[in-house]
Every structure is written in C-alpha cells, then in structure tokens.
Chain A
Amino acid sequence: QTVVTQEPSFSVSPGGTVTLTCGLSSGSVSTSYFPSWYQQTPGQAPRTLIYSTNTRSSGVPDRFSGSILGNKAALTITGAQADDESDYYCVLFMGSGTVVFGGGTKLTVL
C-alpha cells in the first residue's frame, strides 16, 4: 500500500523560513500526483493552502508556496508567523483514482 511521508514535527523561529516535504515510500513525487497542502488548527476544518503543486488557494498569503524539490513535494513558508503554528497535511492523487494523505507535520513557531 502506498505510504505518503511527512516529517512528524518541525519548528521554525518567527520570521524564519521552513520547508515541509511530502514523499512516497516508494518512488518520487512529481506534478503528476497534483500534490496539495492543507493547514489545520485544533478544532477547525482543514484550510487549503496549495493545490496542484503550486497553485495558491484564494486568500492564501504569498509567503506560502508549493514546489517539487528533488523527489518530493514541498511547502515553503517564508517569514513564519505565530499563527502559522498548525498541523500541515499533504495529499497525493494516485493514477488509480485514489487519494492518499500524508500523516501530517506539526509545525511549532518559537
């Protein structure tokens, strides 16, 4: 079964830059997987940040960006702010029609 991998946790200093990644247990992530990224704070529904690799969702600040770095999808946050402290999930769309979420990254801003 396909496993989508994310760092379990990450920390960044206020104003700093952090890159979260989304990989595959077997193989490389490419744009063909339409990697997408979601932010979730406790008690809230997920919020879409990035879809289709690098398309920013409406209203999302441009300090959030998506890309492919090496064999993984990446979400980069520049100028991290306190309210960026959240869980971040990536998702990959498989050619079979199924969809797989990563386990999520808990981002701490301190």
Chain B
Amino acid sequence: EVQLVQSGAEVKKPGESLRISCKGSGYIFTSYWINWVRQMPGKGLEWMGKIDPSDSYTDYSPSFQGHVTISADKSVSTAYLQWSSLKASDTAIYYCATLSATVTVPHYWGQGTLVTVSS
C-alpha cells in the first residue's frame, strides 16, 4: 500500500526556520515526483512546487519561488519543505502528493502538516 506520511504539527514564531517532511512507503520512492500543496485557513489548494526524488530536480510555482525550498533524500524515502524565515502568512496546512501528468501514476496524498506561525 502506497503511503505518504507527513511530520507532525508545528508552532513557530515569525523569523524562525522550519523543515517539514513527507516519507513515502509502499513504492519505489524515486518513481514518483513529490509535490507540495498549501491550504491556508478556509481557502483552496495552491500548488507550491515539486521534486523528482531520483535526481532532486525541482519546479516551483512563481508564487513560491524563493520563499521555500523543496528537497529530498532518496536514501530515507523522504521529501522536505523548508523555510528559512517564517511569516505569519505561512500559517497553513501543507500537503505532499504524488501528482503527475501521466496516466500511469496515481495521485496519492499525505495527511497534511499544520504549520502555525504566531508571535
């Protein structure tokens, strides 16, 4: 069974750094791109970017380029989303998912990580 298991909820202060994770299991981790999706309170889904775990090639949404960093460690089947300096506006639920432009890759979702940034 394919699973994406995300790290737990975080409470941070503005200006702090953070890295959240998404661990894949039940499949060959390097086979599927990992995407990150933001959902701000009461709002819709926003695509942030994606990574190919086989070579760590990344694509970012222009809206998030330069604000977050997506990385992956294939040795532990885990993708990461990180911030160097959080803002209150980063408060949201973040999902990882294997979204892909191909008929051969199902779209699996992680359970989400709630990030709260507050002074």
**Chain A residues in the interface with B (C-beta under 8 A):** 1, 34, 36, 38, 40, 45-48, 51-52, 55, 57-58, 87, 89, 91, 93, 97-104
Contacts and interface: CB of A to CB of B under 8 A. Distances in A.
Contacts of B59: 97-98
Given A89-B44, A99-B47, A100-B47, A45 B106 contact: no
Nearest to A40: B45
Interface stretch (B23-31, B84-92, B97-105): B97-105
B45 A104 contact: yes
A61 to B, nearest CB: 16
Contacts of A104: 44-45
B109 A45 contact: yes
Contacts of A89: 44-45
Nearest to A31: B103
Given A36-B99, A58-B106, A103 B44 contact: yes
A98 to B, nearest CB: 6
Nearest to A57: B106
Chain B interface secondary structure, helix, strand, loop or mixed? loop
A46 B35 contact: no
A38 B110 contact: no
Contacts of B106: 48, 51, 57-58
A58 B105 CA distance: 12
B95 interface: yes
**Max chain B Cβ within 10 angstroms of own Cβ: one of A34, A45, A57, A89:** A45
A57 B107 contact: yes
A104 to B, nearest CB: 4
Interface in B12-65: 35, 37, 44-47, 50, 59, 61-62
Given A38-B45, A48-B106, A104-B45, A91 B99 contact: yes
Given A45-B109, A46-B109, A47-B109, A52 B103 contact: yes
B41 to A, nearest CB: 12
